[in-house]
Structure 1
Amino acid sequence: MTADQDKSIKSLVEQRIPGKSLDAAFYTSDDIFKLDMREIFGRHWIFVAVEPEVAEPGDALVVNVGLSSVILVRDDNGDIRAFHNVCRHRGARMIPEGATMIGNIVCPYHSWTYGLDGKLKFYEHMGAEFKPGCNSLKPVALRSIGGLLFICLSDNPPTDIDDMARVMEPYLAPHNLREARIAHQADLIEEGNWKLTMENNRECYHCGPNHPELTIPLFAYGFGFSPTELDEQGRAEAQRYTDLVDASCSRWEGAGVPSREVDELTGRPTGFRTQRLPIDQSGESYTMDTRAACRIPVGAVQDKALGALSFWTQPNSWHHFMGDHIITFTALPLSANRTLVRTTWLVHKDAVEGVDYDLERLTEVWKATNQQDADLVAIAQQGAEDPAYEPGFYSPYTEGLVEKFAAWYIERLKDSLA
């Protein structure tokens, strides 16, 4: 990046007005995209997978984050490790993106072979002076929080992930993610900048007219609302929802299931938020009839009306934990105007498709919602690229979490550019 480019970006960061959307360049500029990949995705904790994706020794998963490729593998001792997918000989990419099963990590170029612990096991023609112990695979920082796998590509990962782990482990433990299995996984390319993907996720202002499936299990007043625009009946309904949230949280926490809101989205490198909220009608699951999609609970809690524990992390994930299944989402930038959204549905490891659950019923709400969101992100990207675009005001009632995402992003850029 040239000095002029650096100065221009610093100016954009400094002039950002709280409560308004970002300048167009943050969604369209290739220079800012490169900065995002270096400073946001290169230095922060990124959610990439779940433990059941590498359930057994030898199970491996390759995830690409920008130009970096990372191998996640469960070793012979049952521990999950992460390595850069770069051979220590001449740097060849060793395993293609996706899931596989391996006994060793073998470079296809010259057959250098590494154990699942990353140590170099086999090589030829290197001479007596060569030191194999100095040529192990380069490790990548890895943390599992309740079975959710986070990596950090920096050599100095933010240490405040310890705070997130301390808070979130008790919230996630009742759902026993580590004892679940993948029922379905779907990748969707959104034609928009990764920040538009995240901003869209952080609000439900758009939900009413755009998500007919999702708004069946979600309460209307859970989206946020302007109190001054409600009539007497509306105010009464909103109060009933507030009372239901309080009563439900008290009931769940009384049963040993942490549920109350924790909001740490800003003011820290590893921003996060969690809250368990009631589901409408039967209160059981994100399905078209709001009833459990899987007969076998994913955790130890037998209360079917467990609502949905939502967990958001900066910069790239959101998750929903219910009594019958779990859904995780990760957003991985591909370019300044394209983003991969990967959705994973999990059920109890003993659940059998066609017997304990119907896959279409399990996935239909979020498959529809994801495509609807992708369509909205695409038109938002088109708008950001229009010369007429200028930052607009966020709703103080329904877009507070969008503002917190934008504020966190600007905080992190200020920190890095300083």
Structure 2
Amino acid sequence: MSNEILSVTPADALIDEPRAIRVEGLAPAQRITIQAQTERAGSVMWRSQAEFVADAQGVVDLSSQAPLTGSYEGVSPMGLLWSQVPEKEGQREMFANTVSQPLVTTISALTSTQTLTATLTQHLMADGVQRIEVREDGLVGTLFLPATPGPHPAVMILNGSGGGINEPRGALYASRGYIAFALGYFKAPGLSDYISNTPLEYFKKGLDWLRRTQQPLGGFVALSGQSRGGELVLLLGSIYPQDVSAVVAYVPGAVVHSGQNAADPQVGREGPAWLLDGKPLTHVWQDNKTATWAPFDEGPSPHRHARAIMTALQDSDAVARARIEVEKIQGPVILLSATDDGAWPSSLYSKMVYDHLHEVGFAHVVQWVDTQDGGHSIVFPYVPTTQLVYAHPVSGKINTGGGTPTANAQSDEHTWAAVKDFLRNAVRAHLAREQ
């Protein structure tokens, strides 16, 4: 009888939990192939595989051993997850059809005598987390409430230029103990299909609603946003400083931008994205002497939007006029960026914010996590990072977010760890000030 055993520990946990994948009982130096397959949104199967050689004890342990060949290189305990590719070309949705539905991955180890199988289950929503659709006060979003007794601190989550409602991030924040309000502001039911002329008062209404209806712990409400949402959370923190307890800015902008790829065609991509008191905010493309879309429009495919943004940043006067006044923020800030961001220069933008806050003697914590060779898409750990080229959800233009699968997987892992620590410390400091 064979003593070969395949194990996944823990087999069933939240999506951001690392797992130990091991095969034991092999012959020393025996070669095996380990495969992973996961059904994701739209019933699309994603697959990966790698070949390993057993150590002197007859063990293959992905936590300490690199594959000989396969879908990824180097030691990566969860490499079989982040290196998966979809069977259907162009598929990018990495979660299940609903956030309450877990992702179930079948791990198969093909040895010389048999095929061993085990299951790895990833949840976005912990047991007992509540999902509540919000359609009131003109707001369109989804509220997630932790399973544990409150009161809890809160986070309001804002998406980027793809629009919609970021339910996966909301579900995971709630699973980690936060009241999470994923607020849509375009490309969501009953809202515009475009980012153009979005009133910032809408987000103030969201902050007020969240505090009034959920009464978060100590009144703590953080903002979390990525890409255009990263620009937006810095902007909101500067305009409504009394209402924002902390800012989590994923791949943010340091300046106000125009509508860009998410613009209403009738307004144009050089038209305003944000309104305040009914008036457009000055953005970096406005009266800009150096800005041109040509490096993006005419550059090699896949197109890198960042190339056009860099032309706009050459006009120092336009940059100064459009700069987000981040020094007005009255809470801690964390910036998550990457050096090979294809959408816009998030690493440079984060440096601009970080340096300015230090220059003015900002009174709160400022953290900056920058991933070398990483790209624009920073999510959370143990999801596929292989689909770098995509059609923009609004403009349809073929873009690359940049980075490599390996660097993006590393970015997902260490940025999420940093965000969890940042928020934990921010809540602690906020409550200490409230006493």
TM-score range, shorter chain: under 0.3
- Structure with more of its chain in helix, by fraction: 1
TM-score by length of 1: 0.25
